[in-house]
Amino acid sequence: QITLKESGPTLVKPTQTLTLTCTFSGFSLNTKGVGVGWIRQPPGQALEWLGTIYWDDDKRYRPSLKSRLTITKDTSKNQVVLIMTNMDPVDTATYFCAYRRRLDIVWRPFDYWGQGTLVTVSS
Amino acid sequence: DIVMTQSPDSLAVSLGERATINCKSSQSLLYGSNNQSYLAWYQQKPGQPPKLLIYWASARESGVPDRLSGSGSGTDFTLTISSLQAEDVAVYYCHQYFDALPTFGRGTKLEIK
């Protein structure tokens, strides 16, 4: 059974750096064709993809946020970490991590999601 | 970015009636190697993460009731709930995973009339 869970601070101040951890079970990020992504959702708004890290350490980021984002993985701990610098109140959102996999040569969408963690940016 | 335009923004349907949600992408999501469109539908209830319902535009995820179906190809897609049940009240999002920058629609809020 695949599960993911986000953890980290619920409140950060403007200009601070946010570090969120996604701890997962039921799969390994050493397995070919697997990826973990981060998606956020401001209160009452739509979903916004932030970035994805793949089994081969390939990383893809949202271009508009690329300079502020870093995603890393620790396969020994079954964790993926999201770092977002220079936080602003507009970054207030629920942050989700999610799993996706490749079947043969085609990718499935994110099919397992964590419950999400609400991060508020305020002084 | 591929822009996903959903309509309507909200929808109220009587129990047992049909609900239809539309999604249009700003460019084709058809992947040539398998002739599938990289379009998914998610359902999100308050306080919960999105739940995958449909992928490749029309493939139903395991466990999803068959009253929910997806159709369309290329740039125009539809999610249909053939007979609305109370548990279908939620916000529905379309999502393209064709591009290196995945994007989501703005959501359609489905309520009971």
pLDDT (0 to 100) of residue A104 = 82
pLDDT (0 to 100) of residue B95 = 98
pLDDT (0 to 100) of residue A41 = 98
User: Residues B108, B92: contact at Cβ < 8 Å?
Assistant: yes
Could you please report the per-residue DSSP string of A33-61? Answer: TEEEEEEEE-TTS--EEEEEEETTS-EEE
A-B interface: how many C-beta pairs under 8 angstroms? 54
pLDDT (0 to 100) of residue A8 = 97
Give the span between the Cα atoms of B76 and B92, in whole angstroms: 16
Nearest CB among B33, B49, B51 relative to A114 is that of B49
Looking up tokens 């994110």 gives: A110
**b/e A2-28 (16+ beta carbons within 10 angstroms → b):** eebebeeeeebeeebebebbbbbeebe
pLDDT tens for residues B17-45? 999 999 999 999 998 877 899 999 999 99
Amino acid at B96: Q
Nearest CB among B31, B61, B106 relative to A46 is that of B106
Give the span between the Cα atoms of A110 and B23, in whole angstroms: 18
Chain A interface includes B86 (CB < 8 A): no
Contact between A107 and B97 using a beta-carbon 8 Å cutoff: yes
pLDDT (0 to 100) of residue B32 = 80
Give the span between the Cα atoms of A114 and A84, in whole angstroms: 19
pLDDT (0 to 100) of residue B37 = 95
Looking up tokens 């993911």 gives: A4
Chain B interface includes A107 (CB < 8 A): yes
pLDDT (0 to 100) of residue B31 = 87
pLDDT tens for residues A98-116? 999 998 888 899 999 999 9
Local mean pLDDT, 10-residue blocks, chain B (113 residues): 96 97 96 88 97 97 96 97 97 94 96 96
